Structure 1
Amino acid sequence: MSPVYPASLFAERALLAEGWATHVRLDIGADGRIAAITAGASPAGAEKVAGPLVPAMPNLHSHAFQYAMAGQAEVAGSTADSFWTWRDTMYRIAGRLSPEDAGAVAAKLYVEMLKGGYGAVGEFHYLHHAPSGVAYDDPAEMSLRIADAARRAGIGLTLLPVFYAHADFGGAPPHAGQARFIHSPDAFLALLERLRAELGGAATLGLAFHSLRAATPDEIRAILGSGLAAGPIHIHVAEQTAEVEACLAWSGKRPVRFLLDEMGAGEGWCLIHATHMDAGEVQDLATSGAVVGLCPETEANLGDGIFPAEAYLGQGGAFGIGSDSQVSTSVAEELRMLEVGQRLQARRRNVLAGGADRSTGRRLFDAALDGGVAALGPASGGRIAVGAPASFTVLDGDDAFIATSKGDLVLDRWIFARGTNVVRDVMVGGRWVIRDRHHADEEAIDRAFRAALGRLAAA
């Protein structure tokens, strides 16, 4: 990766915080942040970028280890396939990964995310222990492998260690397939302390609860009250109708309602999926200050259902996008699937545009960008403004569709027509990490990834 600036960039077109501008000079400080922006500027003395410049997108929900099983659960079983049968395959893969394998898989994944237009990732990390369930000599071993993979790739990281203690609602004991995930509250808090000391400013540290199935209300309250929950808080919720039914039987409340009423979910929280809500949950979540983490490609792949996006966005709800199980690592594919799902359900076009004469791509891009930063923290990127991280995606100005588009049509063509094909360069925090679709450490990362997949196949 190229060194941190100071330096200057010049873009013929750039999507700034206030909208599209032309002939834009961006001065970048040695801290990797934008020091100055001048529209209508001269290119003299600046590095000219190769196409329209837009913010790099935060990826707010990732399980890096699941990249190792991409495409491996697409053979029909003897019973009706569902999320729950897919989970059995995931547990088998999770049981085989060594720390070395996990690091190799994550590094490859993070390079692919960068190539897809992401600049930061929220790693919802619950693969903590050895396959037997015994902690490694360093209980943070697997978490630190993730942090090292992010460093090698050059992607921004919000690390979200996951508290996971139970198999189902009401504190049911975990089963053998979950052994690598399990912590007591005290052990989990010790992990957070270790990571806070180790990571320093190299990553944002938050935390996650796997789900209301995996953590009791008392455990959630104890961890939140510990003083160590200083960053973002994430949780899976209402991904499956079976989960909603089980939560009702256990508590008398639907899961999103339980989080809002009993756990105080609001600003600083990110609720992953939230697919199955009633109208009251949609309204109250939309006004709560929480962000919904949508993973449309994974949700479609698993047959989860379709998020009520039109109603939720119509009431001012915030959302971001994530790659989750890694069936896609593309910003454009996630946003396209989000809109396409709504079209199939509503049997209308441009469902999420937000009004007449508005670009669907622009509305989705802006909303996902803002929601992603709210969910991962300000170091994860954001709109292009003075003081913000210099984290950008450069689209290919030689592509005919991009070259001949103006304004928001650039985003519409990227998201709905061209996809990852037109992501050319990516900068994160003032460093070029993808140049002309390549990563400087790509060959070594690819070799390690291939070796990890070979070991998994032989296991």
Structure 2
Amino acid sequence: MLSYWCQHAWIGGAVATGVLLECEGGVLTSVARAPSPPRGAEVLCGLTLPGFADAHSHAFHRALRGTVQRDRGTFWTWRETMYEVAAALDPDTYLALARAAYAEMALAGVTCVGEFHYLHHGPDGRRYSDPNAMGAALVEAAAEAGVRLTLLDTAYLSSGPTPDGAGVPPEGVQLRFSDGSAAAWAERAEALAGSLATSATVRCGAAVHSVRAVPARELATVAEWARRSSAPLHVHLSEQPAENTACVEAYGRTPARLLADHGVLGPLTTAVHATHLTPEDIGLLGGTRTGACFCPTTERDLADGIGPAPRLAAEGVRLSLGTDSHARVDLLAEARSLELDQRLATGVRGHFTAAELLDAATSAGHAALGWPDAGALEPGRLADFTTVALDTVRTAGPPAETAAETAVFAATAADVRHTVVAGRHVVRDGVHLRVGDVGGALAAAVGAVTP
């Protein structure tokens, strides 16, 4: 039995002062008020929250930080740099980069990551002797970094849509992403899922990269595999106007309608970005109980736009958050950006409360990744939590009853003091206990795959 006494904790949507968390076997067994720390309990000063779920990650994009900000740049210059990094990776360098990236997430309070994984094969599309060698590298990276992982194995089969539904064949580095057909993707994904079936820290899901990268006639195969496996299914949706235009020209309908018509939308599905939606698209997501994952930092960084988060929420779409390209890893910043970007777009304050933003960063994110047993400080839930300091230059001063607002609207990842996964410290007092020098690990891993 392990016990943690929290100075303040987020319980049932409110801040409680003096809370004792007891856990056994990686699960919370008791959550009770305690005015002072009992003997033997580890003291967590600050506000303890359920661990953050980073619901949309491309780990290898961590190597792009800074590099893609040189000169003025466009989305297309960003993509060319991304392709250069993708071409340079092998299972060993992928492991090192992902381990360091996931360790950075743990330092930021992330206890579970959804990896949107499409870098499957070797150069020119040649399969490794283990067709899931790159996925296995991600699994090992998460284990060594001490975080839970939902590996969203991603179908990526074409470089653009065509009216016949066949798609433009992939080329260049895109060949590394493709299995050739959805049937071949499903066969490889099935083998991967089987290898992870008994894991306590990894769950396998699926993803449609986009309507650009998965031809219409292949969509149902991916959706059926996810449905049969009861697995989370994610998809990049309407990230840019060009995607919508190409889809309408090829298929005569929006991406959301195309996905709905082929069975991709539904309660196990999360639409990532969901930026450029029509009113009908918003209704489709709400009517099918599809979730939406927003990645505000990346959406700003790539000049993609501001998605209709309040309208989606009003339709019953549950919102989660991701760091996507890792231009910054800070779930608190992503949470407040969901609100602040809407203020800029509308000229109105108060679209989301701090409680709603914390739900997006915790419970909703875990649910989107297939971990409904995480995301809340309640008996029976996984003992995954993080503590944000309330005495730093960013957080000191406000009263305890506004600790949630302080955390969401003022704190940063640098204010995270502790991260606990399965009842055990991964980060203590701002130090990663497994990787140690995360900055050094990042510098070495990025340097190995960039000029």
TM-score, with structure 2 as normaliser: 0.92
Say whether 1:223 aligns with 2:222: yes
Cα distance in 1 for partners of 2:118, 2:313 equals 30
C-alpha displacement at 1:445, in angstroms? Answer: 5.6
For residue 386 of structure 1, give the secondary structure of its aligned residue in structure 2. coil
Say whether 1:363 aligns with 2:318: no
C-alpha displacement at 1:366, in angstroms? Answer: 1.9
Say whether 1:106 aligns with 2:103: no
C-alpha displacement at 1:406, in angstroms? Answer: 4.1
Cα distance in 2 for partners of 1:411, 1:74 equals 33
| Residue identity in the other structure for 2:8 | R
What whole-Å deviation, never above 9, does each CA across 1:7-45 have from its counterpart, x for those lacking one? 11111221113532222111101x211111112455223
For residue 303 of structure 2, give the secondary structure of its aligned residue in structure 1. coil
Cα distance in 2 for partners of 1:223, 1:310 equals 29
Give structure 2 stretches of 5+ with no counterpart: none
Of 171, 176, 180, the residue aligned with 1:175 is: 171
1:311/1:193 Cα in 2 relative to 1: closer, same or farther (>3 Å)? closer
Say whether 1:127 aligns with 2:123: no
Cα distance in 1 for partners of 2:71, 2:77 equals 10
Cα distance in 1 for partners of 2:282, 2:399 equals 35
Of 387, 395, 403, the residue aligned with 2:388 is: 395
| Residue identity in the other structure for 1:111 | A
CA contact (8 A) 1:58 1:380 kept: no
Partner of 1:297: 297
Of 186, 192, 196, the residue aligned with 2:193 is: 196
C-alpha displacement at 1:281, in angstroms? Answer: 1.6
Say whether 1:428 aligns with 2:421: yes
Cα distance in 2 for partners of 1:7, 1:370 equals 23
C-alpha displacement at 1:448, in angstroms? Answer: 4.8
CA contact (8 A) 2:319 2:360 kept: yes
4+ residue segments displaced more than 6 Å: none
What whole-Å deviation, never above 9, does each CA across 1:317-339 have from its counterpart, x for those lacking one? 21100010000110111112222
Cα distance in 2 for partners of 1:285, 1:271 equals 8
| Residue identity in the other structure for 1:22 | T
Cα distance in 2 for partners of 1:38, 1:437 equals 26
Partner of 1:51: 46
Decide which moves more: 368-377 or 118-127: 368-377
| Residue identity in the other structure for 1:105 | L
CA contact (8 A) 1:57 1:381 kept: no
Cα distance in 2 for partners of 1:446, 1:228 equals 41
For residue 399 of structure 1, give the secondary structure of its aligned residue in structure 2. coil
What whole-Å deviation, never above 9, does each CA across 1:261-312 have from its counterpart, x for those lacking one? 4325110001111100112222331342111011000000000010112222
CA contact (8 A) 1:163 1:210 kept: yes
1:58/1:33 Cα in 2 relative to 1: closer, same or farther (>3 Å)? same
Give structure 1 stretches of 5+ with no counterpart: 1-5, 354-359
Cα distance in 2 for partners of 1:63, 1:100 equals 17
Cα distance in 1 for partners of 2:255, 2:114 equals 22
Cα distance in 2 for partners of 1:160, 1:300 equals 24
1:456/1:272 Cα in 2 relative to 1: closer, same or farther (>3 Å)? same
What whole-Å deviation, never above 9, does each CA across 1:163-210 have from its counterpart, x for those lacking one? 111111131111113011011333322322222232232411111111
For residue 425 of structure 1, give the secondary structure of its aligned residue in structure 2. strand
1:322/1:176 Cα in 2 relative to 1: closer, same or farther (>3 Å)? same
Partner of 1:356: none
1:149/1:380 Cα in 2 relative to 1: closer, same or farther (>3 Å)? farther
For residue 22 of structure 2, give the secondary structure of its aligned residue in structure 1. strand
| Residue identity in the other structure for 1:125 | H
1:264/1:440 Cα in 2 relative to 1: closer, same or farther (>3 Å)? closer
C-alpha displacement at 1:443, in angstroms? Answer: 3.9
CA contact (8 A) 2:295 2:334 kept: yes
C-alpha displacement at 1:228, in angstroms? Answer: 5.4
What whole-Å deviation, never above 9, does each CA across 1:59-110 have from its counterpart, x for those lacking one? 1000001101111112336xxx432332122111111112211111111111
Of 67, 85, 96, the residue aligned with 1:93 is: 85
Cα distance in 1 for partners of 2:364, 2:324 equals 16
Of 174, 184, 189, the residue aligned with 1:187 is: 184
| Residue identity in the other structure for 2:99 | A
C-alpha displacement at 1:221, in angstroms? Answer: 1.4
Matches for 1:247-326 after TM superposition, within 5 Å: 247-326=247-326
Decide which moves more: 391-400 or 244-253: 391-400
Say whether 1:24 aligns with 2:19: yes
| Residue identity in the other structure for 1:427 | V
For residue 293 of structure 2, give the secondary structure of its aligned residue in structure 1. strand
CA contact (8 A) 1:223 1:229 kept: no
Partner of 1:357: none
